[in-house]
Homo-oligomer: A and B are copies of this chain.
Amino acid sequence: MHESIFDQSSIEKDNAAREATLRRDYETLGERLDRAGVAIDEIKQKVAAFTVAIPSWGVGTGGTRFARFPGVGEPRDIFDKLEDCAVINQLTQATPSVSLHIPWDKANPNRLRETADRLGLGFDAMNSNTFSDAQGQAHSYKFGSLSHTDAATRRQAVEHNIECIEIGKAIGSKALTVWIGDGSNFPGQAHFTRQFERYLEAMKEVYKALPDDWRIFTEHKMYEPAFYSTVVQDWGTNYLISKELGDKAYCLVDLGHHAPNVNIEMIVARLIQFGKLGGFHFNDSKYGDDDLDTGAIDPYRLFLVFNELVDAELNLPDFHPAHMLDQSHNVTDPIESLMVSAAEVLRAYTSALLVDRKALDGYQQANDALMATLSLKTAFRTDVEPILAMVRLEKGGAIDPVGAYRASGYRQKVAEIRPAVAGGSGGIV
């Protein structure tokens, strides 16, 4: 049994007031699904097995290049962050693992592991950082890291990634996620091809250090922090990387990293088809890499992504993409946003499970576009909250995580321990 950060009885108390209603809603939903030939308990079982990782940096308040406005009780270090992650997992019962960012989360690996064990958490993919300069770093990443024109800078970036693998090995991680800010701000600043060749060469060095049972995820992004070109600009380049590197290399899809209007669910399908979908950084966006809460802007798009994932899950023997939230919480309590966002991911998964795939297949074969799309809509429109809440309840979590969290006064309590942080300008000045 792991340690509970806050009193489990407060969850139980909150649940008590909601349980009867939940059971009633679960029952009527079950009745409706039953009519459609779907056994609600089987859905529930699948949902109960689904998890999504929390990024350590997600529990702190984010910022923009213009400013950062901290909240109260901000975590001071990775151990505070792990506690916040444990709270999220305790309430949602859906987020048992944490993804670390090095060097931000650098600490004694044994202490990391012990703390995580004690809190009932594990470690998801490791994240390297070569998009900002760490203090005392020999070579600056101002003009690039893994693709820098200078060999020593590339070497430093390679070694940093290898260090991330080493730390990961010590704490039980099984994957490395590599996102770089390399690119250019001016036409001509970088030679596209030579820059990419340098990147590939450097990544091959990193890949060599990857244990056999690890995966390496590369992440594409259209722009920011480079504003004319980025080295890994889209899934096409990302796919090429994964092919060049080898069988342990996969593409990571961040929902906010694409050009306007792009059909992301189709990219997901293509990567699945060619065996290179590694996983996701979930978030939502309206304009660019807005890093808003998952499903906050376009919940149907999220559902359509999961429609592809469930289809693959049913058809492929060994399909297990990584799921991670990656958001910037600028105006909400990060713990609340992460709990709601985890629920949104599970909601999209649950809805996608409800799609009548046999009927859909028939409509597709017959080019009955209207009924095909209504098949998806019918599943999407079904309010699956009772399933999500029942899963949480049965696993010991909260029927209403935000309600229970607010009732607990957790944020106020940690604010007494964790000193207030000053806000200020962002990167621009």
Would A66 and B181 count as touching, CB distance under 8 A? yes
Would A192 and B269 count as touching, CB distance under 8 A? yes
Nearest-CB residue, chain B, relative to A223? B287
Would B66 and A225 count as touching, CB distance under 8 A? yes
> Bound state CA distance, A162 and B214, in angstroms?
47
Would B330 and A185 count as touching, CB distance under 8 A? yes
Would B64 and A187 count as touching, CB distance under 8 A? no
* Most chain B CB atoms below 10 A, which of A140, A272, A299: A299
**When A228-B292, A259-B261 are in contact, do A427 and B133 touch as well, CB less than 8 Å?**
no
Contact digits for A382-415, partner B, Cβ 8 Å, 1 yes 0 no: 1101000000000000000010000000000000
- Indicate whether A423 reaches chain B with its CB closer than 8 angstroms: yes
Interface residues of A in 89-105 (CB under 8 A from B): 104
Q: Which residues of B contact A228 (CB under 8 A)?
A: 263, 286, 290, 292, 296-297
Give the contact stretch, choosing among A43-51, A113-121, A169-177, A232-240.
A232-240
Would A367 and B149 count as touching, CB distance under 8 A? yes
Q: Which residues of B contact A300 (CB under 8 A)?
A: 187, 297-300
Kindly identify which residue among B68, B222, B274 contacts A427, using a CB–CB cutoff of 8 Å.
B68
- Indicate whether A267 reaches chain B with its CB closer than 8 angstroms: yes
> Bound state CA distance, A267 and B240, in angstroms?
12
Min C-beta distance of A206 to chain B, whole Å: 20
Contact digits for A306-318, partner B, Cβ 8 Å, 1 yes 0 no: 0110010000000
Interface residues of A in 181-231 (CB under 8 A from B): 181, 184-194, 196-197, 222-225, 227-229
- Indicate whether A2 reaches chain B with its CB closer than 8 angstroms: no
Q: Which residues of B contact A235 (CB under 8 A)?
A: 236
> Bound state CA distance, A203 and B274, in angstroms?
17
Q: Which residues of B contact A24 (CB under 8 A)?
A: 31
> Bound state CA distance, A32 and B28, in angstroms?
10
Q: Which residues of B contact A35 (CB under 8 A)?
A: 21
Min C-beta distance of A274 to chain B, whole Å: 6
Q: Which residues of B contact A361 (CB under 8 A)?
A: 191
Would A65 and B426 count as touching, CB distance under 8 A? yes
- Classify chain A: how many residues form its interface, as a range: 35 or more
Q: Which residues of B contact A125 (CB under 8 A)?
A: none
**When A32-B25, A60-B429 are in contact, do A189 and B331 touch as well, CB less than 8 Å?**
yes
Min C-beta distance of A69 to chain B, whole Å: 4
Would A287 and B188 count as touching, CB distance under 8 A? no
- Indicate whether A428 reaches chain B with its CB closer than 8 angstroms: yes
Q: Which residues of B contact A261 (CB under 8 A)?
A: 222-223, 259-260, 286-287
Would B423 and A133 count as touching, CB distance under 8 A? yes
Would B286 and A287 count as touching, CB distance under 8 A? no
Interface residues of A in 149-186 (CB under 8 A from B): 149, 181, 184-186
Interface residues of A in 125-152 (CB under 8 A from B): 131-133, 135, 140-144, 149
Would B227 and A290 count as touching, CB distance under 8 A? yes
Q: Which residues of B contact A382 (CB under 8 A)?
A: 383
Would A64 and B427 count as touching, CB distance under 8 A? yes
> Bound state CA distance, A25 and B181, in angstroms?
42
Q: Which residues of B contact A252 (CB under 8 A)?
A: none
- Indicate whether A80 reaches chain B with its CB closer than 8 angstroms: no
Contacts from A to B (Cβ < 8 Å): 21, 24-25, 28, 31-32, 35, 57, 60, 62-69, 104, 131-133, 135, 140-144, 149, 181, 184-194, 196-197, 222-225, 227-229, 233-237, 239-240, 258-263, 265-267, 269-270, 272-274, 285-288, 290-293, 296-301, 304, 307-308, 311, 328, 330-333, 336-337, 340, 360-361, 363-367, 369-377, 380-383, 385, 402, 422-429
Q: 8 closest Cβ contacts across the A-B interface?
A: A426-B427, A63-B427, A236-B236, A67-B132, A259-B259, A69-B142, A227-B290, A192-B269
